[in-house]
A and B are shown apart, each in its own frame.
Chain A
Amino acid sequence: MDGITRVFATGWRGPTVRALNGITLRIEEGEVVGLVGANGSGKSTLLKIILGVLAPTEGECRVFGVPSGRREARESVGFLPESPDFSPQLTGFELVCFHAQLGGMAGAGIRGRVDEVISGVGLTEARNRRVGTYSKGMRQRLGLAQALVTDPRLVILDEPASGLDFVAAEETARTIRALKARGRTVVFASHRPEQVEELCDRVLVLDQGRLVLEAAVAELVCARAPTALLVDPLPAETLGDLRAWLRVRGVEFLGVERSRRGLAQAIWSRWDGRGGEGVERP
């Protein structure tokens, strides 16, 4: 992406709005990149330009070496919009099948692939139900299924966890991790920095259409941060010995902080979201 600027006109002879301003960046194949920014910072506009549904006013965007918008570029891309609301009259299977056919798939193998991807997002039992009966989380997963059905090399997700409960958000995170494990490139916009930290190799921060920060997540999180040493258990006498030992070696001891797991992690460590019998009480 080289020098991308996008200007929108607001109404007839109205003032123009510069949604993107001279964005230059390169995303490597196999990377998971998070796009962070406030509302109106230009995230969705940037994603639409990568998709090729919006032309930049200035600059050039290429997807795997091909100008975005060309058929070859679009064949390599899958897209999940923010909070998609698919036609309630169609079944999940029909919808994913339609997108598979639009993506160029044909022949006998199409049903198998559609079933596979529907199963991958956990909608097998609901595949023949009309989308109108789906919950918001199920619609989001269906959106993910249509984006992945052609097995694209680049997956673009606009706020994939927007409005989802933590079970559905964790399912989405699992899907993104699986895509990364298979070497797919993922670009997703998010309002949640903790999600970007958990899933992404690199983060891009947009502010008023400008790219204000571009860094590897690991570098950004660890830079100038104290190192934590996790131990379990830590009796009082051991702590005294440890402080003395560290002091001798010139390491500054900053304090003791009890490590806590987040509630979502704690629930997920006990229950994987796939059901079970009985009530578990610690």
Chain B
Amino acid sequence: MKRPPFSPRRAGLIAGYTFREAVRQRLLVTLCLVAAVTVGGTLFLRELNFGSSELKFITDLGLGALTFFGAILAIIAPAQLFFSDLEHQTMLTVLAKPVSRTEFIVGKFGGVLLLLAVYCGAMTALVAGLLAGYQTGAIAARMDGPGLGSTVFLSGVAVCGLVTWLKLGMVAALTLGVASYARSGGFAMMAGVVALLACELQYLARDFYGQMTTPWARAGVWMLGLALPDFEAFNVSGRVAAGESLSPGQLGGLATYALAYMAVFAGLAVYGFRHREL
């Protein structure tokens, strides 16, 4: 069967539809609100800083909440939005129009990426706002010194938001890739969680790889390590909290790495969906 050529316009329409659908879903909105409350709550929890400076604690906790709730969002949103269309037969009404399956998957993924961008943008702005307000207030109160800690640059927080978005984009692409083969949304979400943990623990696999002596075992672990992205490089909140930032070269490298994995996972999703019986 000859497929209609790819149309960015139609993929964009599906992305817009997916985004609109997602931002009106009670579950996803609640998740974002809980994330916002947690980020906002860091100001009140700063007394529990376990000996680290208050600014570092606020930055760590705020950016940690951004990543944690973002990961949940990046797993739930693609699985739920894909399977609700599949189970309610509304996918057929879309595919009965001159829309290819590639456009459908690219559109779905685009909508989820947009959702994650808005989420990361809003949460990063919230963390940056809190830090700016707290730093200004602390400086005005002459509270500088070891209790406050070194100044956190807001540009570093913004870079951290961008890097988190790239990381969450990979998680979403991976979940969508699983969803296109899976029989249920629950399975896709579980697989997304397992994959997320595997990506976070890639550094252990690399350490293990270094200890391998037999070539076939090294090759096996190397292949396994290549199949999933290594998220260690994307965990930059600690550096940002310490007042450091990423160079443009480092940021470009991370973006290229993330986009390559997103393309591979989205490609797998397209392949799986093209061969799926509807």
What residues make up the interface of A, taking CB atoms closer than 8 Å to B? 8, 48, 51-55, 67-71, 74-75, 77-87, 89-90, 94, 98-99, 101-104, 130, 143, 146-147, 150, 156
Contacts and interface: CB of A to CB of B under 8 A. Distances in A.
Closest 7 CB pairs of A and B: A89-B24, A85-B88, A79-B96, A71-B4, A81-B89, A69-B1, A102-B97
A52 B88 contact: no
Contacts of B278: 48, 53-54
A83 B90 CA distance: 10
B17 A98 contact: yes
Interface string B73-97: 0000000000010001110111111
Given A77-B96, A82-B89, 20 more contacts: A51-B92, A51-B95, A52-B1, A52-B96, A54-B277, A55-B1, A67-B2, A69-B1, A74-B4, A74-B97, A81-B93, A84-B89, A84-B90, A84-B93, A89-B21, A102-B13, A102-B94, A102-B97, A103-B97, A143-B93
B8 interface: no
Contact of A48 (B10, B88, B92, B99): B92
12 contacts: A51-B95, A69-B1, A69-B2, A79-B93, A80-B93, A84-B88, A87-B90, A89-B21, A90-B17, A99-B93, A102-B13, A102-B97
Given A69-B1, A87-B21, A102-B13, A51 B96 contact: yes
Contacts of B89: 81-85
Nearest to B103: A102
A101 B24 contact: no
Contact of B98 (A103, A147, A156): A103
B21 A90 contact: yes
Contacts of B88: 84-86
B142 interface: no
B25 interface: yes
Contacts of A102: 10, 13-14, 94, 97-99
B98 A104 contact: yes
A175 B99 CA distance: 26
A98 B92 contact: no
Contacts of B5: 71
Contact of A67 (B1, B14, B92, B94): B1
Contacts of B21: 87, 89-90
A268 to B, nearest CB: 29
Given A53-B278, A89-B25, A74 B93 contact: no
A240 to B, nearest CB: 60
Contacts of B98: 71, 74-75, 102-104
B37 to A, nearest CB: 23
B92 A53 contact: yes
Contacts of B20: 89-90, 94
Contacts of B84: 87
B238 to A, nearest CB: 38
Interface in B244-259: none
Contacts of A84: 88-90, 93
A86 B90 contact: yes
Interface in B23-72: 24-25
Among B3, B5, B10, B277, the most chain A Cβ lie within 10 Å of the Cβ of B277
Contacts of B93: 79-81, 84, 99, 143, 146-147
A30 to B, nearest CB: 21
Contacts of A75: 98
A69 B278 CA distance: 14
Interface string B152-171: 00000000000000000000
A179 B256 CA distance: 53
A27 B244 CA distance: 70
Contacts of A68: 1
Contacts of A103: 97-98
A248 to B, nearest CB: 61
B13 A101 contact: yes
Contacts of A98: 13, 17
B276 to A, nearest CB: 10
Interface string B9-20: 010011001001
A85 B4 contact: no
A147 B13 CA distance: 17
